[in-house]
Amino acid sequence: MSSEKTYIIAVIVENRPGVLYSVSNMFRRRNFNIDSITVGPINHGDLARMTITIRGNDKTVEQLVKQLQKLVDVIKVNVLDLASTVVRELALIKIHAPDTRVRADVLHYVDIFRAHVVDASPETLTVEITGDPDKIDAFINLMRSFGIKELARTGITALSRGVKSINVDSNGNGE
């Protein structure tokens, strides 16, 4: 029996109302949790790409992929190889920064992590950071000592490295 690990599933779907519900409901019916899901239009908006992150084993993921492929609005499904995949996430973090000493410390970490301050108020700094989830987690853990007022994360988005891709042609057929 395979041990539990993280899987990233890329899914090309029709970009229309109800598709996200249909996909997420399939996971619910199978009693499976989605760790993160990102969705965005591709190909002039008529198709969308979902990047779904889950934890499980090979057998479970194989079954989930088969079930996804049966859904009417799903065009193509691909389990990405983590070793050859570019993975990114974005986070916005509002940090308590009431004085110049704290602001200087936060700005120092912002620089080290190649993040950006996107908003400032007399009491807070809002920082945008992108990178792999471990980088985001490390930054968030450092900021906890200053006080995190608010946090929003996008979830993972990913593409295979090199020439390998999950594409569809202009007619919506998988390549």
Distance CA 134, CA 112 (A): 15
Confidence at residue 170, expressed as pLDDT on a 0 to 100 scale: 54
Task: Give the model confidence (pLDDT) of 7-43 as tens digits.
Answer: 999 999 999 999 999 999 999 998 889 999 999 999 7
> Is 156 within 8 Å of 51 (Cβ atoms)?
yes
pLDDT at residue 131 is higher than 70: yes
3-state class of 71 per DSSP? coil
| Rounded percentage of the chain residues whose pLDDT exceeds 90 | 82
Lay out the sheet containing 5-14: strands in order across: 36-42, 47-56, 5-14, 74-80
Q: Residues 6 or more apart from 159 whose CB is under 8 A from it?
A: 85, 86, 165
CA angle 2, 84, 90 (to 5 degrees): 100
**Which domains can be identified in the chain, with CATH numbers?**
5-80 (3.30.70.260), 86-157 (3.30.70.1150)
Task: Give the model confidence (pLDDT) of 87-116 as tens digits.
Answer: 999 999 999 999 999 999 999 999 999 999
Confidence at residue 45, expressed as pLDDT on a 0 to 100 scale: 80
In this prediction the pTM is 0.84
User: Half-sphere exposure (CA, 13 Å, Cβ side) for 86?
Assistant: 8
